[in-house]
Amino acid sequence: MAKRVDANQAQIVQQLRDFGASVKDIHEVKGCFDILAGYRGRDYKFEIKTEAGKLTTAEIEFQNSWRGSPVYVIHDIEEAIQILIDGSEDL
């Protein structure tokens, strides 16, 4: 069974691309984050949720066991862009 895509995901993906990020949709990997974004030489893992959306048990387990950089839970493009900007300031 395919993982459900949050209603705001397509719009956020397009807006990230318009902002200049490369984006790979990987939401179908169980428990994994929804998209991988690259911006100014850095990678960002985003879990996209609607305002009412909650992390699934599999998503929580993945995030708790991941030993790499953080998975950011975002609800809109403004949150995503702020993370990209903050991450590129120390380059």
User: pTM of the prediction?
Assistant: 0.88
Q: 3-class secondary structure for the chain?
A: CCCCCCCCHHHHHHHHHHHCCEEEECCCCCCCCCEEEEECCEEEEEEECCCCCCCCHHHHHHHHHCCCCCEEEECCHHHHHHHHHHHHCCC
Which pLDDT does position 30 carry in this prediction? Answer: 85
- Identify the CA nearest to 85 among candidates 32, 11, 19, 22: 19
Which pLDDT does position 91 carry in this prediction? Answer: 58
Which pLDDT does position 90 carry in this prediction? Answer: 67
Which pLDDT does position 44 carry in this prediction? Answer: 97
Domains of the chain, first to last = 9-88 (3.40.1350.10)
Which pLDDT does position 81 carry in this prediction? Answer: 97
Output the tens digit of pLDDT for each of the chain's 91 residues. Answer: 456 788 899 999 999 999 999 999 998 888 899 999 999 999 999 999 999 999 999 999 999 999 999 999 999 999 999 999 998 776 5
Which pLDDT does position 53 carry in this prediction? Answer: 92
Which pLDDT does position 34 carry in this prediction? Answer: 96
Q: Is 49 helix (H, G, I), strand (E, B) or coil?
A: coil
